[in-house]
């Protein structure tokens, strides 16, 4: 990706830096605004590691609040409903419902845009790309490249008419596309009824076993990450009980404005492995290890270096009293 430059790039070099930056900012703002104001239904595909899956999305905005219903179209059926800071995941085959509260605003397709452009420029090179077509609509490309090895690059294609993000690709440092989202069909609607984003078609709610996660206030964290990659800052810290799991963990959320990393610190179960473990699903890396007799898990859409550096540098702060600390 970095070894070639199309002909339009030569023309962009003639544009002043101020106008150029304003154009990028305008497109990112349009994408952000479209994701929080438009009502639509559609189908998008998600590709990673030679795996391709499709999802149906219903996106509704009412009184400034967004509700989404996502349904898998292949494999075992799953229905995910995002509403008012809460995520409900229904597994009809197992008759299980998982309920989790969001620790902070998640960046999920098609809402992957950074919140603030100026601070990102220290750690990402951001510029406008060329024109193209996605799902039959004309689009504009925004290119985001990392300046170090702690984060990924992004290619974002936005609808030129309304600004909605129609295609997103996560790029590794070698220029390889490791994860991609792509709308294949999209239909803008004037109004979507509330029933369209509810748990319809799932059978009787009473037949589902509920697994509920909980959040607790955490005014003073007990643990900290001592080696935080440049640009990342502690955005939130809290206590959490995960749906389907016993015990309470401390949850530290770090963000650079685009990428995010969650660090969980909890008691180590006797059956837990003693050696470090690394998992990957597309752009998501999960690194688990034991630090000071505690199980530490770091996960995020970031390279291996980032989650390993943060997990291995977790250290205990001053001891505090109270039953909530893990």
Instruction: Provide the phi-psi class of 224: left if phi over 0, else alpha when psi is between -120 and 50, else beta.
Output: beta
Residue 203: predicted pLDDT: 61
Distance CA 178, CA 151 (A): 13
Residue 19: predicted pLDDT: 39
Q: Quote helix, strand, coil % in the chain, to nearest 5.
A: 15, 45, 40
Q: Is 298 in contact with 310 (CB distance < 8 Å)?
A: yes
Query: In this model, does residue 7 exceed pLDDT 70?
Result: no
CA angle 222, 226, 231 (to 5 degrees): 115
Residue 281: name the closest of 266, 301, 262 by CA: 301
Query: In this model, does residue 21 exceed pLDDT 50?
Result: no
pLDDT, average across residues 258-270? 86
Identify the weakest region by mean pLDDT among 205-209, 249-253, 259-263.
205-209
User: What pTM was computed for the model?
Assistant: 0.82
Q: Is 285 in contact with 279 (CB distance < 8 Å)?
A: yes
Residue 245: predicted pLDDT: 60
Q: Which two tokens stand for residue 34?
A: 């479209």
Residue 215: predicted pLDDT: 64
Could you tell me which residues come within 8 angstroms of residue 233 by beta carbon, excluding any fewer than 6 positions away? 254, 255, 256
Distance CA 95, CA 210 (A): 9
The 8-class DSSP code of residue 28 comes to: H
Residue-averaged pLDDT of the chain: 82
User: What is the C-alpha end-to-end distance of the chain, expressed in Å?
Assistant: 45
pLDDT band, residue 25 (cuts 50/70/90): confident
Query: In this model, does residue 175 exceed pLDDT 60?
Result: yes
Tens-place pLDDT, residues 127-164: 999 999 999 999 999 999 999 999 999 999 999 999 99
Q: Which two tokens stand for residue 314?
A: 């977790």
Residue 239: predicted pLDDT: 84
Domains of the chain: 7-205 (2.50.20.10), 214-316 (3.30.200.100)
Query: In this model, does residue 10 exceed pLDDT 70?
Result: no
Query: In this model, does residue 49 exceed pLDDT 70?
Result: yes
Residue 13: predicted pLDDT: 32
Establish how many alpha carbons lie within 13 A of residue 148's alpha carbon, considering only the half-sphere containing its beta carbon.
13
Query: In this model, does residue 243 exceed pLDDT 60?
Result: no
Tens-place pLDDT, residues 70-129: 999 998 888 989 887 778 888 887 777 777 766 544 557 777 766 566 788 899 999 999
Distance CA 2, CA 251 (A): 36
Q: Is 132 in contact with 110 (CB distance < 8 Å)?
A: no
């Amino acid at each position: 990706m970095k070894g070639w430059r199309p002909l339009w790039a030569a023309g962009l070099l003639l544009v002043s830096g101020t106008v150029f930056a304003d154009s990028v900012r305008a497109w990112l703002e349009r994408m952000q605004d479209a994701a929080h104001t438009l009502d639509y239904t559609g189908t998008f595909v998600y590709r990673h590691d030679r795996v391709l899956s499709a999802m149906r999305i219903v996106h509704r905005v009412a009184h400034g609040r967004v509700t989404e219903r996502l349904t898998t179209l292949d494999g075992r059926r799953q229905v995910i409903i995002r509403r008012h800071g809460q995520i409900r995941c229904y597994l009809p085959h197992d008759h299980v419902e998982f309920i989790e509260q969001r620790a902070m605003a998640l960046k999920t397709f098609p809402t992957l845009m950074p919140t603030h452009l100026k601070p990102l420029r220290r750690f990402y090179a951001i510029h406008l790309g060329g024109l193209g077509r996605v799902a039959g609509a004309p689009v504009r490309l925004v290119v985001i490249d990392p300046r170090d090895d702690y984060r990924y690059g992004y290619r974002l294609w936005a609808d030129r008419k309304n600004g909605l993000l129609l295609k997103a690709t996560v790029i590794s440092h070698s220029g390889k596309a490791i994860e991609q989202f792509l709308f294949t069909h999209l239909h803008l609607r004037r109004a979507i009824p509330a029933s369209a984003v509810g748990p319809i078609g799932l059978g009787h709610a009473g037949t589902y076993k509920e697994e509920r996660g909980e959040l607790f206030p955490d005014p003073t964290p007990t643990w900290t990450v001592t080696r935080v990659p440049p640009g990342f800052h502690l955005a939130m810290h809290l206590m959490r009980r995960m749906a389907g799991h016993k015990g309470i963990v401390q949850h530290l959320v770090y963000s650079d404005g685009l990428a995010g990393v969650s660090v969980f610190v909890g008691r180590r179960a006797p059956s837990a492995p003693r050696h470090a473990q690394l998992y990957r699903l597309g752009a998501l890396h999960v690194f688990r290890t034991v630090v000071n007799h505690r199980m530490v898990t770091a996960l995020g859409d970031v390279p291996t270096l980032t989650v390993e550096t943060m997990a291995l540098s977790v250290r205990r702060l001053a001891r505090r009293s109270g039953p909530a600390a893990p």
